[in-house]
Copies of this chain bind each other. A is one copy, B any other.
């Protein structure tokens, strides 16, 4: 059994990897198989070349993605999920399912919160 606070450090470790801006995008786009750099960039239009590189390096470093370099010209590099990357994908799908299921609830909670805030502000303003 692992200690309480230690567990939190660990989950932060993974969140630092998975919770950044682009990692999940890349992982989801690698879900349907090996792709090369340009393909990924085309399929994630908002990502910059730099951030795609950085993100892929991070995933490679953690053993979640494997990088294959073909010694050809022009250069060609393929990326694909490792088995461990696959298991992460499966796990994250749980989070995705939760998201889809509760998106409306969250939205209405936010609306309700904003409404409450506004009525409080109005009271203060009249005062």
Contacts and interface: CB of A to CB of B under 8 A. Distances in A.
Interface residues of A, number: 42
Given A15-B19, A105-B84, A92 B91 contact: no
A11 interface: yes
Interface in A94-122: 94-100, 102-103, 105-106, 108-110, 112-113
B18 A113 contact: no
Interface in A11-40: 11-15, 18-21, 24-25, 28
Contact of A91 (B18, B62, B88, B98): B98
Interface of A: 2, 7-8, 10-15, 18-21, 24-25, 28, 60-64, 84, 87-88, 91-92, 94-100, 102-103, 105-106, 108-110, 112-113
A24 B14 contact: no
A10 B79 CA distance: 25
A88 B24 CA distance: 18
B11 A62 contact: no
A102 B113 CA distance: 38
Contacts of A88: 98, 102
